[in-house]
Amino acid sequence: MNTIIVGLQWGDEGKGKIVDYLTASADVVIRGQGGNNAGHTVITDGTKFVLHLLPSGILWNSKLNVISNGVVLDPIGLVLEIERIEGQGIAITPDQLLISDRAHVVLPFHKELDAAREAALGDQKIGTTKRGIGPAYADKINRCGLRMVDLLDRPFAAAQITRRVAEANEVLARYDLRIFDAEQVIEEVYTAFERLRPHLTNTIAVLHAAWKSGKSLLFEGAQGTLLDIDFGTYPFVTSSNTTSGGSCTGSGLPPTAIDAVVGVCKAYTTRVGSGPFPTCDEGLSDYLHGLGREFGATTGRPRGCGWLDTVLLRFACMVNGVTGLAVTNVDGLDAYATLQICTGYDIDGELHTLPPADRSAWERAVPVYEAMPGWQSDTTGCASYAQLPERAQRYLARLGELCDAPIAFVGVGPDRKQTLVVE
């Protein structure tokens, strides 16, 4: 079974946990897009692991993990991440981790260009993580980026980096941001690259061989559908295709290789950064933050929290071809007596059941809610779906009905063991 796991909201849905859970029956775990702007948190036997570029399967001894061609890779950041995870007792060898030679490189000055772009936007800033992801993808599209394979030819790569540093410095000087020394950048990049060189290969050939031999492939999506460059709340989006199609173009495997798409969403809605958020609720945000929940794994920023928005989820299920829903953080709603589900938007007196493309329409979108009774009991100790309170089961059933997708998994806590399978 080859399965794509995608986020159905604005990221932070708990994909890392679902990937980690499904890795038990997978042979290969693949990251196909994004960069270290992603943050996947996995808690195993009480130990917390925060992953950014490394696929979640790296926490399993017997799995092959692949960072494939659609990823923009910060070699310095990846080395630091590997060292941190190894410091937690996880060995990372070339037998466990492969890196595509076609992956584009995030260079140190890309991060500062990210900051410059945000400064230029002023009040209209996107709210990026400033990890250099957008500028690296822009270089890729503009056909002036460096790929990991290019670093094998040091004279060529050094000349390209020198030219790009000069161009970047012209921009950075206008915003009083850090000015880079080309030789220093080259040395920093190559120090990291030499650490990663044993992992570098043609991952497309490796993945096709695994597919043809009948191995089980698990694709780990980063960010969420509503941050997709085509389908998200543009322009407040990331720079890659975060939907299921991005896993194919980002890995070199065709759609015919895919058997299932698991869409991950929270039992409520969260968002970090700028952009529209119709169901945002200050009371729910304060409550969840008070529990120590909903802070970004990558930035530490508090997330805005709101009621479940099935307008967005319905659309996300459509464009991803979701075959099963994984609903996480159900326990976050345990204390509430009444829950609200957004079933549509009232925009200028007209009911919309799908999100608008017109960016100005978001400012006039008024959520239409359906109230449901809460269960007001602790779900964290439930060991099966049948043990969930009846009202929790009704809430989940209504979610699936509104999204036209069956519930497959339910999360009632952060640990791997707190994942319930719906038969």
Domain co-membership, 234 together with 356? no
Whether the predicted pLDDT of 53 surpasses 80: yes
Q: How many residues does the chain have?
A: 423
Query: Which of 260, 280, 299 is the last residue in one of the domains?
Result: 260
Q: Is the separation of the CB atoms in 243 and 6 below 8 Å?
A: yes
Mean pLDDT (the chain, rounded): 94
Domain co-membership, 125 together with 141? yes
Q: Are strands 338-347 and 365-373 parallel, antiparallel or unpaired?
A: antiparallel
Average pLDDT of the residues in 198-219: 98
Residue 74 among the catalytic residues: no
State the CATH number of the domain containing residue 225: 3.40.440.10
Q: Give the pLDDT confidence of 349-375 residue by residue, as tens digits.
A: 999 999 999 999 999 999 999 999 999
Domain co-membership, 44 together with 188? no
Q: Which residue has the tokens 């996995």?
A: 42
Q: How confident is the model at residue 42 (pLDDT cuts 50, 70, 90)?
A: confident
Q: How confident is the model at residue 41 (pLDDT cuts 50, 70, 90)?
A: confident
Residue 110 among the catalytic residues: no
Average pLDDT of the residues in 184-204: 98
Q: Give the pLDDT confidence of 143-180 residue by residue, as tens digits.
A: 999 999 999 999 999 999 999 999 999 999 998 899 99
State the CATH number of the domain containing residue 187: 1.10.300.10
Average pLDDT of the residues in 248-254: 98
CA-based nearest residue to 308, from 233, 379, 218, 401: 401
> What is the total count of domains within the chain?
3
Is the bond leading into 235 cis (omega within 30 degrees of zero)?
A: yes
As separate numbers, helices (DSSP H) first and strands (DSSP E) second, the chain gives: 11, 20
Residue 23's domain comprises 3-101+199-260
Whether the predicted pLDDT of 299 surpasses 90: no
Q: Give the pLDDT confidence of 385-409 residue by residue, as tens digits.
A: 999 999 999 999 999 999 999 999 9
Domain co-membership, 307 together with 321? yes
State the CATH number of the domain containing residue 316: 3.90.170.10
Domain co-membership, 215 together with 356? no
Domain co-membership, 148 together with 244? no
Query: Which of 260, 293, 309 is the last residue in one of the domains?
Result: 260
Given the residues 20, 27, 40, 404, select the one marked as catalytic: 40
pLDDT at position 124: 65
Domain co-membership, 292 together with 367? yes
CA-based nearest residue to 37, from 113, 134, 117, 125: 134
Q: Which residue has the tokens 């080309």?
A: 182
Q: How confident is the model at residue 417 (pLDDT cuts 50, 70, 90)?
A: confident
Query: Which of 173, 195, 217 is the last residue in one of the domains?
Result: 195
pLDDT at position 273: 80
Domain co-membership, 274 together with 131? no
Domain co-membership, 30 together with 149? no
> CA 100, CA 70: separation in Å to the nearest integer?
9
Residue 281, C-beta contacts closer than 8 angstroms, at least 6 positions apart: 305, 306, 307
Domain co-membership, 83 together with 118? no
CB atoms within 10 A of CB 60: 18
| Structure-block tokens of residue 129 | 């993580």
> Percentage of the chain surpassing pLDDT 70?
97
